[in-house]
Structure 1
Amino acid sequence: MKNKIKLYPFLIALGIGLVVVSCKTPAITPTKATAAVPESFGVASTDTTNMSTLPWKTFFKDPNLVALIDTALQNNQELKITLQEIEIAKNDIRVRKGALLPTVGVRAGAGVEKVGRYTSQGAGDATTEIMPGTEMPDPLTDFTLAAYANWEVDIWKKLRNAKKAAISRYLSTIEGKNFVTTNLITEVANSYYELLALDSQLEIIRQNIKLQNNALDIVKIQKQAARSTELAVQKFQAEVLSSQSMEFETLQKIKETENRINFLLGRYPQEIKRDSAAFLKLLPAEVKSGIPSQLLANRPDIKQAELELAAAKLDVKVARAEFYPTLGISASYGLQAFKTSYLFRTPESILYSLAGDIAAPLINRNAIKAEFASANSRQLQALYNYERTVLNAYLEVSTQLSNISNLDKSYALKSQQVDALNKSIDAANDLFKSARADYFEVLMTQRDALESKLELIDTKKAQLNAAIHVYRDLGGGWK
């Protein structure tokens, strides 16, 4: 007993030495996110009204589109995959929380041992009496039934920081799901308006084919009357065939767009319910961009990057704690005997133990240093990713606001162009009938009118999509 007491000062000194050695750890690289953004999106404004606060069912007015988006949010496979990532992150929190608690278990065992008689243990067992007249059995059996517990004391908050990092990553997966949601809504809406645009273009192409066929009939009559040539007939015929080919190309694009929407909705091909009759009369949503600082609170990808940065900082603290000594406590309590008949004879068969140990890396710490350096690098990566995400968010909104302004001006000019070319078609046909214009002028006028009408539809589609993109880029759609 005296010898054990004399050992305590040495154990205390050893523990202090381990702490001193372990405290020589590398410094954590300082990181400070610079999330400052400009005060405006290019035009000085203090209006904080932000369209991103609108729920998507309020933002979109078309009931057919609302129904499609609702189906996509229920069935889209990518969104379902993201939801499982949230569950995985949630389970990781449970794992980290469990590491803070003692590990408790029950152990039952049986064994047999035969040692040589001419050994110190064998000679001692041969002369040992368990009770009067009873020697130590040979071979020696062993039966154990005990409970045990092990616990790592979280002195340096290593386990608690690991749990906090897991919570941050869980929250980041939720923001990641929100980001997937708003992108899914945008993609469905973009594809829907593309489908409406293609329907309108198909209608214009078919109207143009009728117009070209009428012109072809006229030039054939003129040829019979010797007022035109075979060259004119073939030119008009070629133009009709070109438009008919364009019709089938547009039909294929319609099919591809329908299939893309069905894929986003997680279903096999079926008709997309829509109303394309008044596509050119659709008006984009009114844009209210608010102020740039609102992006930090509204954009899911910015909040996700911020949470990933917080988790990376905690990972560095966890890696740094690996340099420090660990304190472990273990205990056991139960029954042990060499015969089952003695196993429940107490207190003779009772076993118990309680031990604590301190351990710390002293010599080969290269692996710990490497992991700490990697954690520092991952922290810097998360910082740069956060700053890049904020910058990208601002530039996306700025680009789309400029795009909306330019598209409005472009659409007004293209509308005037279409009106002028529609009038020129009638004039060209009248002049051609009276032999005051040749067939080439008629062909070019029809071709220019067709192209301008198709471009007008594309511009309208771009206007609608630009408004949707601003809504997404401001952080709308996931609420």
Structure 2
Amino acid sequence: MLPMGCMVGPKYSRPEEQKAERYQNTEIPIDTAKSVVNLKWFDIFDDDVLEGLINKGIENNYDMKIAMARLERARAELGYSKADLYPSFQYGGTVYANKDAFLPTNVGASMNWELDFWGKVRHQNKALQAELLATEEARKVILTGIISDIAISYFQLRDLDNQLDITKKTLVARQESFNIINERFIKGYVSEVDKVQIEQQVAIAEAGIPRIERQITFLENVISVLLGQVPGRIERGKANSDQKLVTDIPLSLPSKLLENRPDVRQAELYYVSANEKIGVAQAMRYPSFNIAAIAGFASVYVSDLFQDSSYKQNASAGVVGPIFNFGKNKRRVEIYRQEAEQSKFYYQKTYLIAISEVEQSLQDVKTYKQEWQARNKQVQAARKNLELSDARYYNGYVSYLEVLDVQRNLYEAELELSRLSQQQLSATVQLYKALGGGWN
């Protein structure tokens, strides 16, 4: 058993958080027995292509590789620090050819051991262990970010695909209307105003296509970087309108975020580490104890080096400690104490942000659904309105200005409905992430 003394320094206790008993933006009953971490990320998606992209991102994403390298370094630093608890052994030897130099030839081994009497090394090890665990939580934060970023970018891409399809169909419809009206203009049935107005609408639809194609290329490049691959075309799966995400995500108590959210756990572990460093600083105010031993052979003549008479050994113990350094050691303790205080406040802030993100995600999921339902009614009504307006125009009851207004409303409503489909899907992913799911 290693000779240890008492450990100076504060003992860790979890800070008080501002408790929330329930979420205000949901009527869903909270099940304290369930947790979102029991719902794996691949269980919430119903698109094999999307799942394949996410798996590729997890494997190849460079942020993920950087996180893994940091994790391995943290493990190495912990092992490096743990070695300080044990004695160190060295060997050495020197050969002198000139006997008149009065320097004996020698070979031997030595041992040096600084006793961790006040817990300086143990506190340091605990600090590094907490930082190692925090690094693991940071890896989980990056993992959830990769999953959600790929999924949301994919839904945005499929939304742009749908917008491009809507715009192309709109262009075809307007081109057909232009052909009819231009023919009527040539025959003198309508004025040039009608012809110019529909010509303008054709140009607007034409201009929309390259704009959307530019946005598609941008998003494909974004997804390619997330996948850790050279930018190129991204494979498509289901359209957003065909996606069926799991919507009954289990809600646990807000306090469960302390266990589910890796960023909250990371912030707490950094506070644990900062708290242990106070103990390191306090231990440095006390004397340190050292044991040393040397054993080996020394002789003026190399031929007599390993004779019994040449054998030497020695052991010693020492103590060294501060006497007066104008309050430097005391200030060191205060520095680490204030750093720990900052870490505590950051942890408490992270917890509040976590609750805020869940509240916002719950509200987003609910309101995007309501907005989509209303917008869908608008699209259906606009399509019927266009059908009636076309009939009224060709029968001479209204000017073409009314038809153009109905066409614009329908086009904008269809684009907005497409965006709302994407936003509903993205909000569900954000809720899953906010609740702390996806990393295991």
TM-score computed with the length of structure 1 as normaliser: 0.85
Q: Specify the SS of the correspondent of 2:104.
A: strand
Q: Give the structure 2 partner of residue 89 of structure 1.
A: 74
Counterpart for residue 314 of structure 2? 353
Equivalent position to 2:23, from 41, 46, 54: 41
Instruction: Find the counterpart in structure 1 of residue 5 from structure 2.
Output: none
In structure 2, the residue matched to 1:451 is 412
Work out which of the residue numbers 50, 56, 64 in structure 1 matches 2:41.
Answer: 56
Q: 1:108–1:146: 8 Å Cα contact kept in structure 2?
A: yes
Deviation, structure 1 residue 47:
2.4
- What is residue 135 of structure 2 aligned with on the other side? 173
Counterpart secondary structure, 1:106:
strand
State which of 89, 92, 102 in structure 1 corresponds to 2:87.
102
Q: Whole-Å Cα distance in 1 between the matches of residues 134 and 381 of structure 2?
A: 55
Aligned counterparts, 1:319-330, within 5 A: 319-330=281-292
For 1:82 and 1:241, the matched residues in 2 are separated by 49
| SS of residue matched to 2:373 | helix
Q: What does residue 122 of structure 1 align with?
A: none
**Which structure: larger Rg?**
1
Is residue 394 from structure 1 mapped to residue 376 from structure 2 by the alignment?
Answer: no
Partner of 1:474: 435
The equivalent position to 1:317 in structure 2, one of 279, 283, 289, is 279
SS at match of 1:332: strand
Q: Name the CA shift for 1:195/1:421 in 2 (closer, same or farther; >3 Å).
A: same
1:398-418 deviations in Å (ceiling 9; x for gaps): 111011111111111100000
Query: Which of 180, 197, 213 is residue 251 of structure 1 equivalent to?
Result: 213
CA contact (8 A) 2:91 2:108 kept: yes
The answer to whether the Cα contact below 8 Å between 2:104 and 2:300 also exists between their aligned partners in 1 is yes
State the distance in 2 between where 1:93 and 1:444 align: 69
1:375 and 2:360 are equivalent in the alignment:
no
Once the two structures are superposed, the pairs formed by residues 5-44 of structure 1 within 5 Å of their partners are: 33-42=15-24, 43=26
Residues 29, 376 of structure 1: 8 Å contact kept: no
* Deviation (angstroms), 1:112: 8.4
SS in 1 for 2:431: helix
Question: Which residue of 270, 279, 282 corresponds with 2:232?
Answer: 270
- The alpha-carbon deviation at position 167 of structure 1 amounts to 1.1
For 2:116 and 2:421, the matched residues in 1 are separated by 62
- Contact map agreement 2:43 2:246 (CA 8 A) in 1: no
Give the match for residue 325 of structure 2: 364
Given that 1:284 and 1:463 are in contact with CA atoms closer than 8 Å, whether structure 2 keeps it comes out as: no
Match of 1:154 among 116, 119, 125: 116
1:285 aligns with 2:235: no
CA distance in structure 2 between the partners assigned to 1:31 and 1:174 by the alignment: 21
CA distance in 2 between partners of 1:269 and 1:138 (Å): 75
SS in structure 1 at match of 2:190:
coil
What is the CA distance between 1:303 and its match in structure 2?
A: 1.2
The whole-number CA distance in structure 1 between the counterparts of 2:409 and 2:366 is: 26
Report the alpha carbon displacement of residue 435 of structure 1 after superposing the two structures with TM. Answer: 2.1
Query: Following TM superposition, by how much is the alpha carbon of 1:190 offset from its aligned partner in structure 2, in angstroms?
Result: 0.3
Q: 1:74 matched to which residue of 2?
A: 59
Q: Match of 1:453, as an amino acid?
A: E
Paired residue type of 2:15: A
Q: Note closer, same or farther for the CA distance 1:400–1:142 as it changes in structure 2 (3 Å cut).
A: same
> Can you list the C-alpha shifts for 1:158-201, whole angstroms capped at 9, x where unaligned?
11111111111111111111111111000010011111111111
Cα separation, 2, equivalents of 1:185 and 1:297: 20
For 1:406, what is the secondary structure of its paired residue? Answer: helix
The whole-number CA distance in structure 1 between the counterparts of 2:12 and 2:255 is 25
What secondary structure, in the 3-state scheme, does the structure 1 residue paired with 2:114 have? strand
With 322-331 and 54-63 compared, the bigger mean Cα shift is at 54-63
The one-letter code sitting in structure 2 at the alignment partner of 1:151 is W
Give the Cα–Cα distance (whole angstroms) in 1 for the partners of residues 150 and 399 of structure 2: 47
Q: For the Cα contact (< 8 Å) 1:52–1:471, is it kept in 2? A: no
Q: SS in structure 2 opposite 1:107?
A: strand
- Separation of aligned partners in 2, 1:160 and 1:97: 8
Match of 1:225 among 178, 187, 193: 187
More off after superposition, 316-325 vs 263-272:
263-272
TM-score, normalising length: structure 2 = 0.93
Q: CA 1:50 to 1:149, structure 2 compared with 1: closer, same or farther past 3 Å?
A: closer
C-alpha distance in structure 1 between counterparts of 2:137 and 2:240, whole Å: 35
Q: Counterpart amino acid of 2:154?
A: Y
Gaps of 5+ in 2: 1-7
Once the two structures are superposed, residues 246-276 of structure 1 have per-residue CA deviations (whole angstroms, 9 ceiling, x without a partner) of: 1111111111111211111111133322235
Contact 2:46 2:245 in 1 (8 A): no
Indicate which of 343, 349, 352 corresponds to 2:305. Answer: 343
Rounded to whole Å, the distance in 2 between the matches of 1:139 and 1:180 is: 65
CA deviation digits over 1:86-128, x for unaligned, max 9?
A: 1010001111111111110101124589xxxxxxxxxxxxxxx
SS in structure 2 of the partner of residue 358 of structure 1: strand
Q: Which runs of 5+ in 1 are unaligned?
A: 1-24, 114-136
1-side partners of 2:258 and 2:297: how far apart?
A: 61
Q: Is the 8 A contact 1:146 1:332 kept in 2?
A: yes
Q: Cα RMSD between the aligned structures?
A: 2.1
- Number of aligned pairs? 430
Q: Is the 8 A contact 2:48 2:237 kept in 1?
A: no
**Contact 1:31–1:380 (CA under 8 A) maintained in structure 2:** no
On the 8 A contact 2:44/2:245 being kept in 1, the answer is no
Counterpart contact for 2:157–2:219, Cα < 8 Å: yes
CA distance in 2 between partners of 1:318 and 1:188 (Å)? 43
CA offsets per residue over residues 209-250 of structure 1, 9 Å max, x none? 011112211221222232322232222212111111111111
SS at match of 1:141: coil
CA contact under 8 A between 1:28 and 1:376: conserved in structure 2?
Answer: no
Q: Matches of 1:324 and 1:296 in 2, distance apart?
A: 37
Paired residues of 1:112 and 1:140 also in contact (CA < 8 A): no
- 2:3 is matched with which residue? none
Residue matched to 2:262: 300
- Which residue among 197, 211, 223 is the counterpart of 1:235? 197
- Overall identity of the aligned pairs, in %: 27
